[in-house]
Structure 1
């Protein structure tokens, strides 16, 4: 009888382990692999602002990522109409690309700044099969910033702006050695940690608990995408940040819950500002209040640009 129960228990353990591995591998491919959930907006027609960004005079900048993947990455550089040392580096969100930043490119370019809008790895015109969720992208952002300094000189003044995953990229980047040319940052609806965002989406999309799928999915991320998403947390990256940070978030954001804004704000220890936009869903703050958004963001930029 004991052998019988022992066999049943072993069989159940094996089934659970196989189910966990299968579920976690599905989650990894769904969330991290190019063409998974990130491709849900593929084929959408360009908006008026995106068409504007596509047609404006621009240069294509390139870099090769510094990690073992050695990916060819591309960015759009829009020189200001009048020569200036002030450059905004804009980072797009999950499932998007440099062109979907059209409204923000237009906003900053018409304010008189150079604008650099990279395509993050696995998006737009850049190479890559696995999404960096801002953690790998923070290192690519460092290289783009170095290119801006090289292009415009050591007296460059640089501002950072990111939406959604791009906002998290910016906040993760602030944990690196930031060049003195970086004057300020704006983070619109970014998540505090990759782990927390995955837990939220797992519950919303599949109504599943995070354990044990999330830890197992991280094993696949480490083995295949070559990073641990447990490392990505603004509690660590903003701990010693001194770059002025403007955090924006919609009060009706159900994709990256609004509580992330307060978490990020509390995690930061430099000059900071928080604006919660009433009735704005995910990445819609600009569209809900375009005039106020433009005024607040440009005032923040002008205050810190010398």
Structure 2
């Protein structure tokens, strides 16, 4: 074979290799584009302020156990408090109802994902009945508060420290403060407890059905709601969250927060919770460093322990509070 023939015989092979590489690159780009598109979609579902079809925001029915408590609090004339949340200079709004008799005891209540301060009205009534001033904020990106991105408790923990300090500013240095939260609000409560600058006036915490971490909850929901594996989609959504919302899912950990907390905490969870699986409360409880109590409510579903038996729920809460609030 001549040199000329050898040179030309190799060209089809080179063209074939080049075509394979081009095809491979196109496939990779399509996969990456598809994953980024899916990641953007799920980020929208998970974090961008909008109606969430999987969250029940229907008005409470008259036949529900908490209806009277819900309506009573809604009908009270409440004060409107505001703070500024960072980043973004967001105007955040809360309702404040003083106790029937003057007191230095105040509860700060955190609502759940897709909720708002109004959804926590029944809890407001319960604590008011227990003699507390009641402050219920709208989280960033919820209710009347500004903001585009849902913080899952991680961004909100800094906001709640501001609310707590505002209580002290308005009600005095002798304030005795309880923080209470349900679902995402439970996680928010735990995340607040791990901060180094929680004022000494915070005497205790109650968390009801909070998750172990945002990563764990999103991983669980990816499989539970959509039937898809968490990898590689959840890391992509987490990376988008880091860029757009300023936090990633791994750092937003309730478990790590309660390890740093030395103050009393009551953990509540329904035994039939399939939205934030019941197993998570055992992890949170085990990790907690301070005085702690665990109450798993037999038969209760997600965020339903209070309505499962309102009287028993209030008795458990009151017994816990009587140990730390005088």
Provide TM-score, normalisation by structure 2: 0.90
Q: For the residues of structure 1 that align with 2:285 and 2:93, how far apart are their CA atoms?
A: 31
Question: Are the equivalent residues in 2 in contact too, given 1:202–1:210 (CA < 8 A)?
Answer: yes
Q: Does residue 209 of the first structure (1) align with residue 229 of the second (2)?
A: yes
Question: Are the equivalent residues in 2 in contact too, given 1:38–1:95 (CA < 8 A)?
Answer: no
Q: For the residues of structure 1 that align with 2:51 and 2:25, how far apart are their CA atoms?
A: 34
Residue 186 of structure 1 corresponds to 206
Quote the offset at 1:45 in angstroms: 5.7
Moved more, 47-56 or 175-184: 47-56
Alignment of 1:106-185 (within 5 A): 106-176=125-195, 177-185=197-205
Q: For the residues of structure 2 that align with 1:234 and 1:103, how far apart are their CA atoms?
A: 25
Residue 255 of structure 1 corresponds to 275
Whichever of the two has the greater Rg, that structure is 2
1:98-153 deviations in whole A, cap 9, x for unaligned? Answer: 11111111111011110111111111111111101100110000000000001111
Question: Are the equivalent residues in 1 in contact too, given 2:192–2:257 (CA < 8 A)?
Answer: yes
Moved more, 233-242 or 251-260: 233-242
Q: Aligned pair count?
A: 305
Alignment of 1:269-288 (within 5 A): 269-288=289-308
Q: For the residues of structure 2 that align with 1:38 and 1:265, how far apart are their CA atoms?
A: 31
Provide TM-score, normalisation by structure 1: 0.96
Moved more, 6-15 or 158-167: 6-15
Residue 123 of structure 2 corresponds to 104
Alignment of 1:226-237 (within 5 A): 226-237=246-257
Residue 264 of structure 1 corresponds to 284
Q: What residue ranges of structure 2 are gaps of 5+ in the alignment?
A: 1-15, 62-66
Quote the offset at 1:185 in angstroms: 0.4
Residue 220 of structure 2 corresponds to 200
Q: For the residues of structure 2 that align with 1:159 and 1:92, how far apart are their CA atoms?
A: 15
1:182-204 deviations in whole A, cap 9, x for unaligned? Answer: 01000000001001111111111
1:7 to 19, 22, 27: 22
Question: Are the equivalent residues in 1 in contact too, given 2:69–2:126 (CA < 8 A)?
Answer: no
Q: For the residues of structure 2 that align with 1:49 and 1:295, how far apart are their CA atoms?
A: 16
Quote the offset at 1:223 in angstroms: 1.5
Quote the offset at 1:38 in angstroms: 7.0
Q: For the residues of structure 2 that align with 1:120 and 1:133, how far apart are their CA atoms?
A: 10
Alignment of 1:295-306 (within 5 A): 295-306=315-326
1:214-251 deviations in whole A, cap 9, x for unaligned? Answer: 11111211121122222111232111211101000001
Q: What residue ranges of structure 1 are gaps of 5+ in the alignment?
A: none
